[in-house]
Structure 1
Amino acid sequence: MDTPTKTGRSPLHLPELLDHIFSFLSDYTITHFVILVCRQWLHVGQHRIVREQVWGNRLSKTEQDLLQANMGRVDRLCYYYHSMYDSPYVLEQLWTALGERSRQHRFLDWEQRRLQQRQQPSTSNGYIKPWLTPEETEDEDTAKLPLKELRLQGYMGLSGLRLVFQVMAHLTSLEVSTVCIVLSMLDVLESCPLLQRLYVDSITTTSRVLPRPWFSPMGINPQNGQRRKRPPLALRSLVLRNVSVPQSCVETLITITPHLRELVLVVKEFFPDDDDDAIATRTADGPRRIRELVRLHHPATLCSFFFSPPHTALSTDTIQGWIQDSPAPHINLDWTIEGPKLTPSIITHLTVQVPNTITTLHILGKCPILHDYLCASPHLLHLMAPKSAITLDAFDIHFRQTQGRPPPSAALRYQQQQQQQQQQQFPRVWACRRLQTLHIAFLPKKATASSSRLIFGYISRVCPRLQDLEIHGPEYLTLHEDEWPNEEEGSDGRLCVRLESGLCLLSRLEDLERLVVGTVHHDRFVLFEDDGHDDDIYNVGEDVDLAVDFDWMVPAGHSVDRKHARHAWIDKEDMKGGGGWAKRLEIEESKEAVRRLNYQQFLVDYGVVIKVQQGGASASEKIDLVESLEDLGLLRDVKQVLEEMDNAAKQQEGDDGSFRCWPHLHRLSIYCPNIFGLQPEAEVGRILKADDLKCGRDSARDP
């Protein structure tokens, strides 16, 4: 009889290895795929399941009641405060919900302890005191809260933050990105003793002030007469970006965080302490002191460290210092750079003279030459540049916006290279094909459908692996500040998001989980009021079906009836209000004939060779990319995507209306105050029932 052979166990059977692998996966992947593989994976990954809920301070009573009823199952709460004024009373709904969640948690804890007692020998009186009794005060009612993560964004002020922090005793992760200039670190650290991750940033270019004190004064030990030692904090990740801080408090924090694994300090200003006798010496010596404290107290625990002191001039020496600061030089670098300081010489140094291994990059403020850096950065995975202000000249690789002739800025560059007898290769395309996160802002000269098609088409082809995408228009650049008014930039409108604008081109991004297009931070916003299209004719008072523009994003928009409505809109004879694509395509083709002639003449005049300049790409990849960008900016590209979407829906589900163009998308925001985003169905429903949006489109100005 043959004995069965013993097969070796796979390393994936080790829970420790599995847990480490799961730490690199997104919340969506864990929740929807990993835990469904087998029981072991469910057991190992269940603590990573995050149930998220999004709130805003302008919800209706019905919406508040519904969200509050589901608070007992929420692990992460995202709260957006989009009021233009600061009032703690509007946070009462959130405070009430968190207090209710606290009561539910303590009641369940009391029941669990009572069950454990029944399984053990009884005590003297057999009674377990519940957490809550009628005699307990309101303060005790909000003493403990099992909420794991809280993300705050918007206009929330200091008083509102203090109100929320009163019920944050169980919090392990906190993100604060608000307009509020001042944040009390004392309130944060004392109200959240279990905090493991703290992220503080400002959504304006003005730095956030974190004034002292950060810690309560320590008392005297009566036994030895010495001051008590400060207990260590549980922090594992600390990110303070674009802040002004007291140097002594930062130094103390570094010494009492033994578990710290990530430390990011982007300091705009070190303001001195009142009791510091050597203010000038201490401030000048601050960067060296902080680096020494990091090496002394975290010699082997830190996995990521970035420190940018105040008034740092971006130079080759600065870059070398950042590389030396990193615990693992040349591997997975996470840097923050002020956009105006990114010069051509710095880009050359970053991409040629040192190992080009930056994987995460934050850009603060405007960055005119960001396009040049992205064309030479194949390893970049995450780019956060929400105020970068990129013009569309770099995206218009076929010169369709200028009828086949190079724009003045590009023409000057080609002339200079021709005089230097350099071989000119064209076009230059982003090299970051593996990019997963992209937050970026554009400056289209006109709010036209063709300019939006350039943006959406370029991103969908060049960055096919995107999971988190934020695309902002000119309205975001002047938000909260007067640094870059639209008039100076030559931009007079927002991004167009209608059907012919090509927003559906982003459906090529099959891994997309979050999509934000456009930004607004006030209550009433007309979606189409600034859309002055170069090839559209509007009829004031026309009854517009907004579903044609947006229902393709959700399964209901792919039913037979909705597809017929969309096709009827596209195939109608007149071009009023955005329809009549047959006529538009004819006009487009006639313009293309003229453009091709001018484009060929440009190649001859300047001696340009059609060859994609893209770092890290093979020859075959460059050829494929050129072919995929052939119809960039054209309406026929949009029509082709809609046809592909209809075919995919028909093959997948047989026209029963359950097809999803983005299978993983769970957060969507289209010019919505809530930048966290809503469920796609909820966001599309918000747009379709907004009467002011329809009025805005009817009254859109003629070109």
Structure 2
Amino acid sequence: MTGVVRLGWKQQLRRPTRTLSPLHLPEILIIIFSYLSDDTLRQSVAPVCRLWLHTVRNAMIREVVWFSEWTPNRLSEALSTLPGAGRLICHNQFTNCPAEALLLDALRQLEVNLQQQLNGSNNNNNNQEQEQQHVSRTPAVETTYRFFFHKNVPLQHLDLVTNKLTSIPFDLFPFPTSLTTLNLTLCRAYGSAFSLTRILALCPLLVSFHAKCRVDALVRITLEPFEQQQSLNITASGLQQQQQQQQQQRENKKQLALRSIILEGLDLDLAKFMNLLTMTPHLKELKLIDMYGGWRRMWADFQNFLPTLPYRLESTHFSYDTEASDSGEIEAMLARQPMSSEWSLWGLNVKPSLLQSLESTVNVVTKLELYWSSRSQGYGASCHRQELQSVPTLIHKYLCNSPHLVHLRVIRSAFLIKDMDLFGRRTFGNLSPLDSKACDPELVHELADASGKLEVWQCRNLKTLQFEINAHLDVIPMTDPVQSRILFGYISRVCPNLEDLFITCPSVCVDSVSRRNYTPRLSLQLYGGICLLSRLRSLKRLRIEDYYLCQGPNCEVYEMNWIVSSGRDSWSRKKRQEVMSEWKSMETEENRLETERKKNGGLKKLTPASAAKEDVRIAKELQNIGLIVDVRNMVKEMDGYFSVGCFPELERLSFEYPIDHRPRNELHRLFPKNSRLDGPCITWF
């Protein structure tokens, strides 16, 4: 408000006073927005106002996906959007893909454009920008256009999953020089090799390098000396004599920007690799997983070499040749990092004595990873080897009993479905009187003899859970929907704060009764209980890998469309009610089995692990784990009048697909001919 105030014979103009908010300062906004993910910035921050859009436009990374199974037109359309993208996810599943040459040409052209921009000779792009300024557009449309097609953004992240290249050798692959993150996965490339030195020379800004070799591929990494560097011949006899020489030559060496190196299932010359580590002063993470080759001879030298590095590693893992390490080596590794926030365990080293020492150690662990080798078998099951069969149960007991898991945020491991079955209800089978497994009273009583004490994971604040669910050598094959209800019910109750969930099933398991191989599977049908995961209100990413999902979802659209907002329409709710009306016979059989177990004393009520309010609540909620009534109550809650929707923060979804889609797009892929989904499927890349 403005006005004139008379002060004697003077007049003074009263100007409006306005206090600026700290949120109007771009410097403060940049700090706040740095804690948010790209999807959150794109969906929730950018549409607020023009100031916020201009603040986060350079922080957001546009992603392009290239998948060899797509049609040629779709592949060409994806490559046309590559200029200005910050991340490229490339999956080359075929050994002779006709579009492989187009991808290589697009990467070469991208590098040419980058060099032209750096040299200041890109006159064509400047002329195009001047022509675009004469096009009449509203300010909002112009801002959005420049944001999504900002051509000055270089390609920084590359995720490459490929077979053996046929058009060119792998050492001639045109990696962009602007890369800061490179994730490389090689499959069906037996006997191949690639030069790590060449990649580091082409990408001087590379900060993170992850390379993984799958089961059916044996790949060797070659290391050549840099042009301005003299290689060090580090051997067992001359290691101590060359420590002083290393200290003198470090200043003259080429320094790399690497902060993270993760190699899995590869062959590597350890002596040359130790020479490379002297050139990475910023390295914080080093993981060499399931390596093979000449590691046995050089392993002792490598352990003596690590303390001589002039920097401190924050996260490490070393395992080789499918063999267990000595207990002294493990203790030495833990001694070098007494307060490390990450523990990476090798499956063959996980024994009761090791877990007892971990339980007695006060720690601040936020990340727990378990690795195992799958090269000795033709499939990736975690516990097919006799030495690994007890490892998932030991990890499960550690998560239940350890008092130092308050800060745990990330778990990557393998678990058995029988450890999550608190009441032995996986014996219910298909809940049919003709099912012999459910009608065997001796088997039911043997597996349902619960101790009554609540033994569940103590990591309530878990954010990321990636695991393989296994039923190897179990008396009950993991093929019935009741086991899916147990799995989904356990996770949704014990880990309510999950943000990233990745569940995978092995391709082969062995039945302990018949000793025959079978393929385990999870049920996506409504009575399979996947809707129980809707309790995870903070879930942002959901991935499920199951071999049977390659053949189709094996369910109807109304059993899955509750994930998106269109699944709460009257038609979908009515269909789900019709499906639940067919469960009466199964519920009758379920009640009969529960009554029989109570008479035999095989069913007991869970008692909380402590008097804490949270433990009492979880013990009460887990009482119905595996039962159909648990699914029925969840569907009523989802389709209720006051329902606020499921997965309000879900951003990525994938069912046996190598690419994470938006939830609506993934449902369109599963049900391509259904029109009941939320509008047309927009871009998949």
Indicate whether the TM-score tops 0.5.
Answer: yes
Tell me, in whole angstroms, the C-alpha distance in 1 between the residues paired with 2:448 and 2:426. Answer: 18
Corresponding residue number in structure 2 for 1:548: 558
Are 2:524 and 1:506 equivalent residues in the alignment? no
Corresponding residue number in structure 1 for 2:578: 568
Amino acid in the other structure paired with 1:257: T
Tell me, in whole angstroms, the C-alpha distance in 1 between the residues paired with 2:611 and 2:34. Answer: 32
Are 2:392 and 1:368 equivalent residues in the alignment? yes
Amino acid in the other structure paired with 2:368: T
Corresponding residue number in structure 1 for 2:650: 665
Tell me, in whole angstroms, the C-alpha distance in 2 between the residues paired with 1:113 and 1:90. Answer: 28
Amino acid in the other structure paired with 1:95: L
Corresponding residue number in structure 2 for 1:199: 210
- In percent, how many aligned pairs have the same letter? 26
Q: Secondary structure at 1:506's aligned position in 2?
A: helix
Corresponding residue number in structure 2 for 1:332: 341
Tell me, in whole angstroms, the C-alpha distance in 2 between the residues paired with 1:200 and 1:90. Answer: 24
Tell me, in whole angstroms, the C-alpha distance in 2 between the residues paired with 1:6 and 1:316. Answer: 68
Are 2:312 and 1:288 equivalent residues in the alignment? no
Deviation, 1:59, is: 0.4
Q: CA 1:68/1:570 → structure 2, altered by over 3 Å: closer, same or farther?
A: farther
Say which is worse superposed, 348-357 or 27-36, in terms of deviation.
Answer: 27-36
Tell me, in whole angstroms, the C-alpha distance in 1 between the residues paired with 2:441 and 2:267. Answer: 44
Summarize deviations over 1:519-569 as a string: whole Å, max 9, x none: 449xx942378xxxxxxxxxxxxxxx7212322222332222332333334
Amino acid in the other structure paired with 1:165: F
Q: CA 1:527/1:311 → structure 2, altered by over 3 Å: closer, same or farther?
A: closer
Q: CA 1:567/1:409 → structure 2, altered by over 3 Å: closer, same or farther?
A: closer
Deviation, 1:114, is: 5.5
Tell me, in whole angstroms, the C-alpha distance in 1 between the residues paired with 2:544 and 2:514. Answer: 22
Amino acid in the other structure paired with 1:498: Q
Alignment equivalent of 2:634, drawn from 626, 633, 641: 641
Amino acid in the other structure paired with 2:170: R
Corresponding residue number in structure 2 for 1:223: none
Amino acid in the other structure paired with 2:656: Y
Tell me, in whole angstroms, the C-alpha distance in 2 between the residues paired with 1:201 and 1:190. Answer: 20
Tell me, in whole angstroms, the C-alpha distance in 2 between the residues paired with 1:397 and 1:462. Answer: 13
Alignment equivalent of 2:597, drawn from 588, 595, 598: 595
Greater relative contact order structure (CA < 8 Å, 6+ sep): 1
Matched residue count: 582
Corresponding residue number in structure 2 for 1:611: 607
Tell me, in whole angstroms, the C-alpha distance in 2 between the residues paired with 1:408 and 1:316. Answer: 39
Q: CA 1:594/1:196 → structure 2, altered by over 3 Å: closer, same or farther?
A: same
Tell me, in whole angstroms, the C-alpha distance in 2 between the residues paired with 1:219 and 1:375. Answer: 51
Are 2:375 and 1:392 equivalent residues in the alignment? no
Tell me, in whole angstroms, the C-alpha distance in 2 between the residues paired with 1:307 and 1:6. Answer: 60
Are 2:471 and 1:461 equivalent residues in the alignment? no
Preserved CA contact (<8 Å) 2:445 2:597: no
Q: Secondary structure at 2:465's aligned position in 1?
A: strand
Q: CA 1:236/1:35 → structure 2, altered by over 3 Å: closer, same or farther?
A: farther
Q: Secondary structure at 2:597's aligned position in 1?
A: helix
Tell me, in whole angstroms, the C-alpha distance in 1 between the residues paired with 2:506 and 2:331. Answer: 35
Question: What runs of 5+ residues in structure 1 fail to find an aligned partner?
Answer: 119-143, 221-225, 273-278, 416-423, 530-544, 572-579, 604-608, 653-658, 692-703
Tell me, in whole angstroms, the C-alpha distance in 1 between the residues paired with 2:348 and 2:441. Answer: 25
Tell me, in whole angstroms, the C-alpha distance in 1 between the residues paired with 2:445 and 2:220. Answer: 44
Tell me, in whole angstroms, the C-alpha distance in 2 between the residues paired with 1:331 and 1:406. Answer: 49
Corresponding residue number in structure 2 for 1:470: 502
Deviation, 1:174, is: 0.5
Matches within 5 A, 1:40-439: 46-83=57-94, 86-87=95-96, 89-99=98-108, 101-102=110-111, 146-153=154-161, 155=163, 162=170, 165-179=173-187, 180=189, 182-184=192-194, 185-204=196-215, 209-218=219-228, 230-266=253-289, 268-269=291-292, 271=294, 284-289=300-305, 291-294=306-309, 296=310, 298=311, 302-308=313-319, 313-314=324-325, 317-326=328-337, 329-333=338-342, 335-355=343-363, 357=365, 359-365=367-373, 366=382, 367-369=391-393, 370-376=395-401, 378=405, 379-385=407-413, 388=414, 390-402=415-427, 426-439=453-466
Tell me, in whole angstroms, the C-alpha distance in 2 between the residues paired with 1:528 and 1:39. Answer: 42
Matches within 5 A, 1:437-452: 437-444=464-471, 445-452=477-484
Tell me, in whole angstroms, the C-alpha distance in 2 between the residues paired with 1:644 and 1:101. Answer: 51
Q: Secondary structure at 1:515's aligned position in 2?
A: strand
Q: Secondary structure at 1:169's aligned position in 2?
A: coil
Matches within 5 A, 1:469-488: 469-475=501-507, 488=515
- In the superposition, the TM-score normalised over structure 1's length comes to 0.70
Summarize deviations over 1:111-142 as a string: whole Å, max 9, x none: 99769999xxxxxxxxxxxxxxxxxxxxxxxx
Deviation, 1:236, is: 2.3
Q: Secondary structure at 1:630's aligned position in 2?
A: helix
Q: Secondary structure at 1:497's aligned position in 2?
A: coil
Q: CA 1:116/1:408 → structure 2, altered by over 3 Å: closer, same or farther?
A: closer
Amino acid in the other structure paired with 2:626: G
Question: What runs of 5+ residues in structure 2 fail to find an aligned partner?
Answer: 1-6, 8-15, 128-151, 231-248, 374-381, 383-390, 429-437, 472-476, 675-685
Provide the alpha-carbon RMSD of the alignment: 4.6
Summarize deviations over 1:8-48 as a string: whole Å, max 9, x none: 998997959964x7666543344445667888876765543
Q: CA 1:678/1:115 → structure 2, altered by over 3 Å: closer, same or farther?
A: closer
Deviation, 1:267, is: 5.7
Summarize deviations over 1:184-216 as a string: whole Å, max 9, x none: 113422332321111122343x89644322444
Q: CA 1:548/1:491 → structure 2, altered by over 3 Å: closer, same or farther?
A: same
Tell me, in whole angstroms, the C-alpha distance in 2 between the residues paired with 1:47 and 1:197. Answer: 21
Summarize deviations over 1:614-653 as a string: whole Å, max 9, x none: xxx86221111111212211222222222222236x655x
Preserved CA contact (<8 Å) 2:88 2:157: yes
Preserved CA contact (<8 Å) 1:34 1:42: yes
